[in-house]
Amino acid sequence: MEKLSFRKAQANDSEFVFAVKKEAFREYVEQVWGWDDSYQRKLHKRRFTVQDACIIQFRGIDVGFLATSSTPDILKVNQIYILPEYQGRGIGSAVMTRIIDDASLEQKSVTLQVLKVNTLGVAFYDRLGFIIVGESSTHFQMEKPSE
């Protein structure tokens, strides 16, 4: 997808990243645990400082963020969120396709987990070729094996 770019998240992006997560993910967290803003901010602060995060830009506008980690065999998508007003435009698919293609070049599988209540998310990853390889009481663990 043209007009899609990434930039490394900086310390001053922390509030934007939290706002994106809150807008895109709050409804699912509320269904499972209830949304506690104070707890979510603490969790965000802890994760934001240690995860390799980047800002997703579409036509020069910050529209979401992505956090990944990697081992010799696996590229793990820790978090990916797109602002609701930019969802449904193919941005998430384009981001995930790039991740899958990059991992494939390194002969890595891509793994992630998704809340079970996020049925749109589960269907999205299924369309991209991910399979459910495990589950907890709240999440499906999904994988796209290397090709």
Is pLDDT above 80 for 8? yes
CATH code 3.40.630.30 for 4-144 = yes
Q: Residue 1: which pLDDT band, with cuts at 50, 70 and 90?
A: low
As a whole number of angstroms, the distance between CA 7 and CA 21 comes to: 17
Predicted local distance difference test score (pLDDT) of residue 52: 84
Assess contact for 111 and 141: CB atoms under 8 A.
yes
pLDDT digits (tens, 9 = 90+) for 69-97: 999 999 999 999 999 999 999 999 999 99
Assess contact for 110 and 144: CB atoms under 8 A.
yes
Predicted local distance difference test score (pLDDT) of residue 21: 94
User: Which one-letter amino acid corresponds to residue 68?
Assistant: T
Is pLDDT above 80 for 2? no
130-134: average pLDDT? 98
Q: What is the strand order of the sheet 61-70 is part of?
A: 4-8, 52-58, 61-70, 74-82, 109-115, 139-144, 131-135
Predicted local distance difference test score (pLDDT) of residue 51: 84
